[in-house]
Amino acid sequence: MEQTLRLVIDCPDQVGLVASVSQFLAQHNATIVEASHHTDLQTGRFFMRHEISTDSLTMDIEQIRLGFAPIAEKYSMNWKLVDSSKKPRMALLASHESHCLMDLLHRWHSKELNCEIPCIIANHPQMKQFADWHSIPFHWIDFKTLGKEAAFAQISQLIKQYDIDLTVLARFMQILPDTLCKELAGRAINIHHSFLPSFAGAKPYQQAYDRGVKLIGATCHYVTSDLDEGPIIEQEVMRISHSDSAQDMVRKGKNCEKTALANGVRYHLEDRVIIHHSKTVVFA
């Protein structure tokens, strides 16, 4: 992959904002290879993501950060400048369902996901076989023996030990405690096997079957203390019919889960997602 810098901005919408950013980049011989803008007219916020080739730049990333800081201060920006060559460190958490875990590992192995995976954590020991195949350190957390408080304390410690940037709940069927949700705010992604906000909580496919819906789906979202209510990153849907049983929905829905989670994770890794209150702006 070509090395780029990603400039991501969230600030009040103002006249001259884009011109100032563009002028700064032009002054330093920056070649913009991808540009995305969005204005939220309801809140008056402006969002921007520029991907910049490093080949022609006259300054290194730290010099650019230093030079851009006065512009960011002038326009009250929340901003970051990220080097694409620095791979984020992603931890995968799993339970007994393996389809999302295996899909992410395959995409990572085939270099579709530009990250490192320093560890896999699971509350079912059989997940170790998938970690071993990819030569990734595996940690089994025995919730039944430890109890939830001690188990999550171990998970928190592992995330810190491995210096994790993104924690992905790949059908990890445990509810994270408030303290861990706050620790990982904006850095933990979950896949819920329902098209939220419909059918939150347990057994969403059975809920969908009982309601007689014609579409089922899956939702990739950030983890918050409010269960299944974090900002949504990506969703996938699939049409079903009256002849589909609840078990059919589970089988068919797995494809939605894998696709929604993989896309959401990739968008986050590529700095394409900006969280704005309870929603996200996604420059896919």
Q: How far is CA 158 from the centre of its chain?
A: 19
Give the active site residue among 103, 165, 228, 271: 228
Stated pTM of the model: 0.95
In the chain, what are the domain boundaries? 4-83, 89-282
| Residue 215 one-letter amino acid | L
Helix 204-211 / helix 246-269 crossing angle, nearest 10 deg: 130
Say if residue 1 is exposed, middle or buried (CB neighbours under 10 Å; 0-12, 13-18, 19+): exposed
Burial letters 121-147, b for 16+ CB under 10 A, else e? bbbbeebeebbeeeebebbebeeeeee
What is the CATH code for 89-282? 3.40.50.170
Weakest mean pLDDT among 71-85, 107-121, 242-256, 266-280: 242-256
Locate 81 and state its tokens: 């400048």
CATH architecture of 4-83: 2-Layer Sandwich (3.30)
pLDDT at 196: 84
Give the H or E element holding residue 11. strand 4-12
Note the pLDDT tens digit of each residue in 141-188.
999 999 999 999 999 999 999 999 999 999 999 999 999 999 999 999
Same fold yes or no, 4-83 and 89-282: no
Please say whether the dihedral angle defined by the alpha carbons of residues 152, 154, 158 and 160, taken in this order, is positive or negative.
positive
Note the pLDDT tens digit of each residue in 256-267.
999 999 999 999
**Parallel, antiparallel or unpaired: strands 279-282 and 273-276:** antiparallel
Indicate if 228 belongs to the active site: yes
